[in-house]
Amino acid sequence: MPDEAPATDGMLIVVDTHDRETGIVDKMTAHRHGILHRAFSIFVFDANARLLLQQRARGKYHSGGLWSNTCCSHPRSGESLLDSAHRRLRDEMGFDCPLEAVFGFVYRATLDGGLVEHEFDHVLVGRFQGTPVPNACEVEDWKWESLPAIQSRFADNPRQFSAWFKTALDGLLARGFPQ
């Protein structure tokens, strides 16, 4: 059985539209009321510029079963963005790699179950050659996929992807990633 999670795991950092911290709130309150909070999305590419996608575990409190970027989560209060990203990449996907923060954006989306995702999402990029060992509580499936294949899948059925995925991916592509 894994170690018990710290009490801060259920707390999110509330921010303004400039990512300035204004407080903390519990995760479910933030998602029920659409409170703007800090998050991150990690995109890991291999040497062939394929993106490591994950299918979110169906038991997750929102967006279960949807395909998304390699890893996404929320930093803990007092934890740096990079420290939290490395921690969650190890926890979710079972590996770590160097990460670079590329850009951030604010989005708001209505999700299943009446929840609202309202995040200042920091997008990070990494490179990895290997086989992930995902946490089954977090990840139902995974695959390395080319960007043209992902874009085709998204055009055919955008509802199979998480609400933040296309905005984050488009932002990376506009900035010349993958390099």
Note the pLDDT of residue 62.
Answer: 82
Average pLDDT, stretch 97-103?
98
CB distance 104 to 167 below 8 Å: no
Average pLDDT, stretch 124-133?
97
Tokens of 3: 């170690």
Residues annotated as catalytic (active site), given as ranges:
72, 119
For 100-165, the DSSP string reads EEEEEEEEEEE-GGG-EEEEEEEEEEEE--S-----TTTEEEEEEE-HHHHHHHHHH-GGGB-TTH
Across the chain, mean pLDDT equals 93
The overall pTM is greater than 0.95? no
